[in-house]
Amino acid sequence: MSDTPSTRTSGPASAGSLFDMIATGVRFVAGLALIVLVLLVSAEIVSRFFFNHSLRVVEELAGYLVVGLTLFGASLAVRKNSLFQVGFIFDALPGAVKRVMGLVYLGLSLAICAVLIWYTLQLVLSSFSRGNVAPTFLMTPLWMPQLLMPLGLAFIAIFIIERMMLTLRHGETD
Per-residue pLDDT tens over the stretch 129-167: 999 999 999 999 999 999 999 999 999 999 999 999 998
CA 84/CA 109 separation, integer angstroms = 9
In this prediction, residue 170 carries a pLDDT of 78
Higher pLDDT, 37 or 97: 37
DSSP state of 133: B
- Mean pLDDT, residues 77-96: 79
Helix (H, G, I), strand (E, B) or coil at 141: strand
In this prediction, residue 2 carries a pLDDT of 44
Buried b (16+ CB within 10 A) or exposed e, 96-121: eebbeebeebbeebbeebeebbeebb
Q: Look at the alpha carbons of 135, 139, 143, 146 in this order and tell me if their dihedral is positive or negative.
A: negative
Q: Where are the domains of the chain?
A: 17-170
CA 108/CA 154 separation, integer angstroms = 15
pTM for the structure as a whole: 0.84
Q: Sorting pLDDT into bands at 50, 70 and 90, what band is 82? A: confident
Helix (H, G, I), strand (E, B) or coil at 31: helix
Read off the pLDDT of residues 100-124 as tens digits, 9 standing for 90 and up. 888 998 999 999 999 999 999 999 9
Percent pLDDT > 90 in the chain is 69
Buried b (16+ CB within 10 A) or exposed e, 39-68: ebeeebeeeeeeeeeeeeebebbbebbebb
Mean pLDDT of the chain: 88
> Which amino acid makes up residue 49?
F
> Which amino acid makes up residue 123?
L
Is pLDDT at 40 greater than 70 in this prediction? yes
CA 101/CA 130 separation, integer angstroms = 43
Is pLDDT at 7 greater than 90 in this prediction? no
CA 159/CA 16 separation, integer angstroms = 11
CB atoms within 10 A of CB 95: 9
